Structure 1
Amino acid sequence: MEWLRQVWTDVNLTSVELFETENSAHVLAEPATLDGDGEISTVQLLHQTLAEAVLEKYNSTVLSSDLRLPSGQDSIRFDQIVGFVAGNRMLNDDILRFTLLLMAEQLTTSQTLVFSPHAPMLGFPRPPQHTRLTSVSFMILPVFFSSSNHWGIIIVEVDMDMPTPTIYVFYYESIGADSYLSVMKEIWNKKLLAHLKLWYVQDCDDRARAEGFPFTVVEEAISVPLQPDGTSCGVMVIAMAYSYLTGNRDFPLHKVTKAYVACMRLRILWMVMTKAVIEPIPQLIKEHASKTNKELKKALGRH
């Protein structure tokens, strides 16, 4: 909570791409002067406003509350978010998955699939019913490097507007190690590409099946930006996914500092806490919480 209560107008940044359209940070006005203490940009004022909005949600939400996607496809408990996004801890797979799914629902009208980071090991799920591979625009696969506790991401874009249907494969992780890139390429070639080929065969007619996989595959490694600390890899992955899903693709041009990461963490909190549906607490839990609160006050000698 103290992290959220910091003075965000002191964080001197003029541009952060993540969720810029959703929270209007892309609309920059002339710097404003407050109390004669110097110029404060609209982005700085915006971050203070976002922090206050998140704090309001924090104060009205109990740890056992469920946050679910508007579609109802997935949910996450509030206690899985508290302490992981705010501050400087590494994001876990639940937060990463939920945020990416929320982005896929909220940021684009095109078909976007988000795979579990466990899919390369446990197997990819069946394709959505009545959905052809050719109708999907993006596929997102977060990749967890368990040996080093690090996140990367594979972003797959299907472009049917090219003379030859093309699949673009973008690899990104925020340290820039060749060993991580090799792992992601292996996952693509041996796991995800095989899944897509099987998907294509299953939903096409005999003639198309005989002609084979029609896509040209273009692979690209994204090497920047690099993370400024040891725990922000998950935040960087979310930011890169946003950059490609929205078509901005400006994140690789940004120099990311610790202050930049802090603002991205704040924006992730804001996105999750304001765009997800917070489920009402069942009456029985409310009564139990109230009883526990009274007992604690009595034990502490308060009335």
Structure 2
Amino acid sequence: MERGVEVYAQELKRYLPAHRVDIISAPKINWTKDFSRQIARFTSQTLRQLETDPPDILYPLNNRWQSILCKLFCLRHKTKLVLGGHSGLGWDDKLNLWLFPDVFICFTHAQEQWAKTVNPLIKTTVIPHGVDLRQFTPHGPKGKLNLPRPIFLTVSAPHKNIQDTIAAVAQLNQGSLLVLGSVGTTVPHNIIDQYYRAADVFTLASSPSEAFGISYLEAMACNLPVVATDDPIRREIIDSAGLFIENPHRIAEYATTLKAAAETSWGNKPYHQAQKFSWDTVANQYETAFSKLLAA
């Protein structure tokens, strides 16, 4: 299953067809061994190739040395630097904010408020992540899951509190937990919607510092209710399309909330919430932001 930032980059390119958008991807990175040096080496090599034909906009997605090297490149050229709050509320994005990009993209208003406390002088714009409502829809094929219901679905990655989710579902003594990702079932992104549609509740107990969570949008677009951590970012994304837990480490509270979500009649609330994040709408916001940037 692709990382969220990789899905984001591909979708951004697809929804801006009027522009030439080149995605330059590093060879496979070993994220367990000195990945910062690997990314720095790749970034240096890439920027050398761009020296003779610098782009109008440079938008690095891997932070730290990549952000710093791209800033230095943009200072030597007329290239505009765009940085986004992909890392969330922490040191990586604090560095990005103090690099003074031409614009810093925040994915929620809550994130923008945090950014302004870090660097009040930074130029920001709020553009949420998007979801492809053509792929992610309540109607369509479902993954064949021979599992007891209700089926709770989650994704595994750092900062997702996956062990708490496992413990909470186990405490229910009913239903099943389907884990997609690195420690669960690996599913190509082009068919992951089938698994959302086959489940009853989506849950993801993200760290409050996490920047967004594209999987929330994908689940809601398939009309799945969500159980998530109670923090300003998740509230802004999910609104009334799910239930919230104050502390996922409190397993009894987490389990009770999962049960309540499975037993609630949600109608089309999740799908209607996801419609607010349609890539068609989000792409127009990027079009406006990039046009302003180039006209400045």
The TM-score normalised by the length of structure 2 is 0.26
Which is greater in Rg? 1
The TM-score normalised by the length of structure 1 is 0.26
Q: Which one has more relative contact order, counting CA pairs under 8 Å at least 6 apart?
A: 1
